[in-house]
Structure formats: C-alpha cells, structure tokens
A and B are shown apart, each in its own frame.
Chain A
Amino acid sequence: MNLLPLIVVVPLITAVVFSYIYRSKYVKPLTLFIGFILLVLPLLGTYGPYFFGGHGIVYIGTIPLVSGIVYTLNPLKETMIFTLMLIGSIVLVLSTRERELSGVFTSLVLMGLASVSAVILTEDLFNLYVFYEIAAITQAGLVILSGTEEAYRSAFRYLLVGTMAGSILLLGVGLLLSATGSLNIGDMGRCLTVNPLTPTVYGGLLMLIVGLAYGGGLPPFHTLKADLYARAKPFVAAILQAYSKFILIALMLVVLKLFGNLPIFHTTRGVLIALSVFAMVFGTVMALLQEDYRKLLAYHTVSQGGYVALGLALGTPLAILAGIFHGINHTLYKSALFIGAHILDKIKSTDMRKVGGLLLVTPTLAFLILCAKLASIGIPPFNGFQSKLLLAEAVMNANMPELAVLMLILSIGTFLYMMKAFYLIFLRPCSEEQLREFKDVKISKYYILSLGLLLVLCLFLGIYPDIVIDRLYPVVEDIGVKWVLESIKNS
C-alpha cells in the first residue's frame, strides 16, 4: 500500500490534537516525540502518482483526463520534503527549550509543514491554492506568537496583502480552468500546447506570477517577507524561510510545467529573471545597511530567494537543478544562521551595537556561526559554494554572462556584510563586566547540537554534492524547457 498521503495527514491530525490540548503538561514531551516522527514521514511514500479517493484517469472520447486529485512523488519532491521535515523537526526540538511553549506553537508548525508538503506534492492547482492559503495564515500566526507590536503589524500587513494575492491566484486558477477544462497540471499543460492561446491564458499566467511572487517573497512583495522574518523569533524565522523557499520552488515548477513549452514562456522568462535579479540586488543592498542582525539575515534571505528564482526562471535543466539545489542548501545554512541569531537573542540582543567580544565567551558558537557564514557566502568546502558554482555555470551556458558578473559582485557584498556582522558580534573588544554578564547566560546543548548537525550536513553536501544532484537530475531533465536549449545551441 502506498502511504504517500500520510506525509500530509499525520502532521494535520497531530496539529488538530495539539491545538486541543494546548495547555496540557504533556505538550513538551509530545512535541519532542513528534519532532522525531517527522523524520520518518518522507520515507513512507512510493514513487509515482497517487489518486485520492481512487479516482483515476477517465477517458472522454480518446482524451485521458484525471478525474480527482493526484499527488506524485519523485526523488526531487522527496529530497525537498526531507529537508523541510528536517528543519521542522529541529525547530520543534529546539522549541521545547522555550519556557512559554504551548501546544499552539507546535500545532502551527505542524500545520505549516503539512501544507507546504502538500503544495510540493500536489499535481492539482486548486488543491495547491487551498494549502497555499493555509500556509499564509500559518506564517502570520507564527509571527504573531512572538507578541510584540511590530510582529502584530507585520503579520497584519502580510495577511492584508496575502488575501489580495490569494484571491488573484484563485482567479488565475479559475481562468486556466475555463481555458483548459481541467485542474490537473499535467492535463492543463497538454491542453495549452494543443490549443491556441487566448487572452484568458495570458491573464491566468499573470495572476499565477502574482501568487508566486507573494508566496515566495519576490518583488513587489519582498519587503513584507523581510519584515516577517525580522519580526518573528529567530528560531521561528528558520522555519518561516524554509516554508517560503519551498513554496517558491513548487510554484516555479508549476509555472514551468504549465507554460514551459509555449511561445509566451520567452516573455515570462524575462519577467521572472527581472524579478529575481531585483530581489537579489535589493536584498544585498538593504542587508548592507542593517544594524540589527535579524534584519540583516532577513534581507539576506530575500536576496538568496532571488538566486533560487533566477535558476528556475532560466528554464534549462542545469539551471533548474542549480536553483533547486541552491534552495535546499540555503534552507540548511540559513536555518543554522537563524538558530545562531536565536542564541544571540538569548545572550543579550540581536542588535549588533549592543554585543561584542563573544568569541571569548562561546568559542564553539563562534566557530559554528563562522562556518555557516562561509557556507552562505559560497566558500568551499561548504554547500553554498557548490550550488553557486552550478548556478554560475548554468547562467554561462544560457548565454547570459552579465548575470554571472552580477552574481559575483553580489557575492562580494554578501561577504562584506556577513563578515561585518561576525566582527561586530564576536571580535569587537568590549568591557570586562559586559563579558561577565554574557558568561552568566547558559546556552542549552540542544542549540549547539542542532547547529552542529546542520553544519555537518552543509559540509557533507559541499564535499559530495553528487548525492543530491544525481537524484534530482533525471526529474529536472523532464521539466527543463527544450526550446531554450535548442535556441542556445543554434546561436
């Protein structure tokens, strides 16, 4: 029996249970338990399609149409879900160290994990929309949990725009439904290649891109996302960025599957590349200006989201591979950085002007965070280097060397602000009594262990990237846009 739906259903059931028993004293042990269960979930499914309710393919005349909702699992989706569940598990385990933990937090994290895995797995546009909305509400709730006025405000802004973007996304789904008569992505893509394009299809594409930009944090919605990451508690921001990165990848893949083989993809590609380049540049420039470590990380997340989107927007198999690989790598090292920021928050504050000289207090932490920073800048032997190299190679292959130059310049910018943050937090001299004050704070072993685990993974992927790349490549080759390759060969 194929146990694929359990990836979504088990977190949902536990989320409902946790929201009911949120004040019970068993919440902490149960959260710890669920955290380990999550790691088993991605292994449950078998590859191939899964038909909900047993409604398979029905023929109308000679045209095969999928009658119900389909999930598919392939190595690509499995890797993405495994990364997501790993981050979720780490965040849940860390949350048991919080004094005010209640079942509400666990419930929201599980709900988000379930909905994002559903967005990744689904082959049905309306189902995608439903779970996309669940993810939007969940992210707002997770930010509100930190309880400051800024958190309330950024969540409110996020929800206001989110409702608009969600409605627009649904309108796009409706338009595409009317033009193709199906909600299954494969069927829709096939129908679009056969029939002539109408204004309805163009409208649907435009609206899908609006939904994608909102869900993934691309311009013009990037400031909302950056605000969201900066206002949440840092270890919550670790899971928030994982959510939006995977939603971005999933929606980009949907756009590629639907429109990749159509002539309008040429324009779409230009628009998407422009959006992602803007996100890259904007994120880097804004991060250079920040005094607060959390905000710096938030804008860094936006700029790295741009890298991921750039890879996927280029449309060649190599570029898609690079984009997805960078997304996975980025999720890993950025979670490590956010957990580091959380420890910093525990010690004193994330404001870089108020801390300093922490190298003497916690040398282990300093070493681990330095490693994470090196990974994020893209220095060997960490995974960030491998994926950025792959992305640069893909950009060169796609005949856009100017983008590679831009990426190099932005990497220098990233190096600058990351090292500035490292200097201000760990190296800057500070007074004796301040150091004594910092030393009084106990740092839980859990934080160091989880940081260590994430960095070992980063190092491992940096040395043996083929483990992931070989799994992803066959899937990505199918999605890759054929004519882009041909036009490059011809020129």
Chain B
Amino acid sequence: MKLSVSREVAVSLSFLLFGAGVFYSIYSIEVVEGVNAIYTHIKIVPNFVSAVLFDWRGFDTLGECLILINSVLVTGIVFGKGLFNWDFLKEVYGEEKCKDSDLGFTPIVKVLAVPMGVLLMALGILVILGGHITPGGGFQGGALISAAYVLAMVAFGVRRCPIRFTYKFLESLESFGALLFLILGLLGMVLSGYYLYNIREIWGIPPFPSPPGVGDVGIIPYLNIGVGLKVLAGLSTITVLLLSQRIISKNIGKG
C-alpha cells in the first residue's frame, strides 16, 4: 500500500516535470528551413509530398509498408496464427463458436452501404492512380477502398458482406503489394546502382506513360499502386481479424 502511494507520487511528479518540458519545448519551436529548401526548389512530380515520400525518402515509405505487414502478422499471432502453445487461447475462447457479428442495422443503412461502398472504391482507385499529380496517393486511396469494405462489413456482418474478399485473397494482395515495392527498388539498384532509384526511362521509354509537363514521373505510380494494394489489404485484414477472430476457431478445432 505504502509502495503504491509513493509510486503514484513519483509518477505524478515525473508527469508534471516531463509534461512541462514537452509543452515548453514545443512552444518555443522556431523552424529552420534547411533541407526543405531542396525539396521545395527541385520539382520531380507536381505533388511535392509524393515526391518526398517516394523519391527523396522512398526507403522510409518502404519501412512503413513493412510495419503494416508486421502489424497484420502480429494481430494474427494474437488470435492464434502459428503459436507455439494454444493453451491460453483455448482457455479464453473455449467451446465458443465463431459467430457472425450482424449488428442489426436498419434497411436504410444496408441499402445505402452498397452504393456508398462502390463510390468509395472508385474514388480510391482514382486517388491511387493520380497520386503523383493531385492530392492523394497510395495510402489515402488504399484507406478509402478498405473503408468501403469495412462499411459493408459493419452494415451486413462478416458472412453476408456483399463485397466478397476472401481472407486468402487479401493476404496474397498484401504480400504482392509489398513485394512489388521491394522488387521495384531492386530494379532501380540493378539499373543504376542505387536502391529505390527513380528510373526515368528504360531504353528511352518512360516506365509510366504520362502527358508532357508532368515531370519525371518514373516509377512513382507503380510504387503508389503497390502501397495502395498493401494498405487496402492490410487494413481490411486487420478489420476482419478484429471483427471475426477467424484464425482462433480454426486452430482450436485442430489442436
């Protein structure tokens, strides 16, 4: 009891001091331009954020793709994918059957969910493909498409969802997206010696056909597509896992 009181006091004090430090240091920020001058004065594609994400600092984006893959994998592990020992999960889930989570929405929601989903998907594809010219890109578009899927799932339940992505399909899509990114990077390395080099042209032909005046598009649209596929599949897989906990039932039946 005494220990917990002194711990509370210590936590409160460190919170106060640390919080004050954080607040003060954020308050006194003065921005130095530095490397931003390079990013603003050299035009690669019209969307400068895309240029930073996929050209100047492409390797960060790669790392960020892999964190999503990793997170999907670990979420699967939490629900029993490839565990060394299933005793705890068996104890928690026991005999319980995997049930369909139809939340009982009214027909209004159900009727509207389908056209909204189709619209969202179309918009998502547009945002992914135009990521280098207009605001948007792989993440945003992928998130839009997976939002359509999640919307349909929430309205109809996992089993009767009108958009039928199977779990295996989503897994393949995710691996394909990530591998596309990784291998395009390797391609740049083969052609120029630099990983994730933005290949302007292969034997005089630009890799992605685009109208003149857009700039050195290079492989950015393909990277966008890879990221888009991966984000859409990753977020959808996470939602399926959280909604239905499907891997658990399989493993408990087996083990």
B69 touches A137 (CB 8 A): no
Within 8 Å by CB of A108, from B22, B73, B183, B185, lies B73
Q: Smallest CB–CB gap between A334 and chain B, Å?
A: 21
Contact of A203 among B26, B57, B70, B189 (CB under 8 A): B26
Q: Given known contacts A140-B74, A144-B78, is B179 in contact with A16 (CB within 8 Å)? A: yes
* Min distance, Cβ B152 to any Cβ of chain A, angstroms: 25
Contact call A20/B82, Cβ cutoff below 8 A: no
Which residues in window 94-108 of A have CB below 8 A to B? 98, 100, 102-105, 107-108
Most chain A CB within 10 A, of B35, B57, B63, B85, is at B63
Tell whether B139 is near chain A: CB-to-CB under 8 Å: no
Secondary structure type dominating chain A contacts: helix
Interface pick from A175-183, A257-265, A480-488: A175-183
B22 touches A104 (CB 8 A): no
- Is chain B's interface secondary structure helix, strand, loop, or mixed overall? helix
Contact with A along B4-47 (1 / 0, CB 8 A): 00000000000000100110111011111111111100000000
Beyond A53-B196, A134-B66, whether A69 also contacts B60 by CB under 8 A is yes
Closest to A177 in B: B34
Contact with B along A115-137 (1 / 0, CB 8 A): 10010000000110011011001
In the bound complex, residues from chain B placing their C-beta under 8 Å from that of A171 are 22, 26
Q: Is the CB of B67 within 8 A of A134?
A: yes
Task: Tell me, in angstroms, the Cα distance from A147 to B87 when the chains sit together.
Answer: 7
A55 touching B59, Cβ below 8 Å: no
Given the known inter-chain contacts A12-B182, A20-B171, A144-B78, please indicate yes or no for A202 contacting B25, CB distance below 8 A: yes
By the criterion CB–CB under 8 Å, are B55 and A149 in contact?
Answer: no
Q: Which of B18, B26, B66, B74 contacts A144 (CB 8 A)?
A: B74
The one of A107, A131, A206 that contacts B73, using a Cβ cutoff of 8 Å = A107
Q: Which of B35, B55, B198 has the most CB of A within 10 A?
A: B35
Q: Which residues of A contact B33 (CB under 8 A)?
A: 181
Residues of A within 8 A of B182 (CB): 9, 12-13, 16
> Which stretch from A60-68, A247-255, A316-324, A458-466 is at the chain B interface?
A60-68
Cβ of A98 and Cβ of B76 under 8 Å apart? no
Contacting residues, chain B, for A180 (C-beta < 8 A): 32, 34
Of residues 188 through 222 on chain A, the ones whose CB sits less than 8 Å from some CB of chain B are: 191, 198-200, 202-204, 206-207
Q: Does A203 contact B25, Cβ atoms closer than 8 Å?
A: yes
* Shortest Cβ gap from A422 to chain B (Å): 28
Chain B residues within an 8 Å CB radius of A187: 34-35
Question: Is B188 an interface residue when CB atoms closer than 8 A count as contact?
Answer: yes
Q: How far is the CA of A202 from the CA of B73 in the complex (A)?
A: 38
User: Least Cβ distance of A142 to chain B in Å?
Assistant: 9
Q: How far is the CA of A123 from the CA of B89 in the complex (A)?
A: 42
Q: State in angstroms the CA–CA spacing of A13 and B189 once bound together.
A: 15
Q: A19 near B: Cβ within 8 Å? A: yes
| Residue from B25, B26, B32, B193 within 8 A of A181 (CB atoms) | B32
Asked if A98 and B84 sit within 8 Å, CB to CB, the answer is yes
Once the chains bind, are B32 and A179 in contact (CB under 8 Å)? Answer: yes
Query: Does the CB pair A17–B83 fall under 8 Å?
Result: no
Tell me whether A146 is interfacial, beta carbon within 8 Å.
Answer: yes
Q: Kindly list chain A residues whose C-beta atoms are within 8 Å of the C-beta of B62.
A: 12
A342 to B60 alpha-carbon distance, docked (Å) = 37
Task: With CB as the reference atom, state the residue of chain B lying closest to A203.
Answer: B25
A102 proximity list for chain B (CB < 8 A): 81-82
Task: Tell whether, in the assembled complex, residue B56 and residue A55 are in contact, meaning their CB atoms are under 8 Å apart.
Answer: yes
Could you give, for residues 46-65 of chain A, a 1 whenever the CB lies within 8 Å of some chain B CB and a 0 otherwise? 00000111110010100001
- Interface check A111, CB cutoff 8 A: yes
Q: Identify the closest chain A residue to B192 (Cβ).
A: A54
Rounded to whole angstroms, the CA-CA distance of A272 and B213 in the bound complex is 54
Q: Which single member of B32, B81, B85, B91 contacts A178 (CB below 8 Å)?
A: B32
Docked CA distance A308–B121 (Å): 52
B203 sits at the interface (CB 8 A)? no
CB of A183 within 8 A of CB of B35, answer yes
Which residues of chain B in 129-144 are interfacial with respect to chain A, using CB atoms and an 8 Å cutoff?
none
Other A-B contacts than A118-B63, A144-B78, 14 sampled, CB-CB below 8 A, are A12-B182, A51-B194, A52-B194, A65-B35, A69-B57, A100-B83, A100-B85, A104-B81, A115-B63, A130-B67, A133-B67, A180-B34, A183-B35, A206-B25
A-B contact list, 14 entries, CB within 8 Å: A13-B179, A13-B183, A54-B194, A67-B56, A104-B73, A104-B82, A147-B85, A148-B88, A149-B91, A178-B31, A181-B34, A191-B34, A199-B25, A233-B84
Interface residues of B (CB under 8 A from A): 18, 21-22, 24-26, 28-39, 55-60, 62-64, 66-67, 69-71, 73-74, 76-78, 81-89, 91, 171-172, 175, 178-179, 182-183, 185-186, 188-189, 192-198
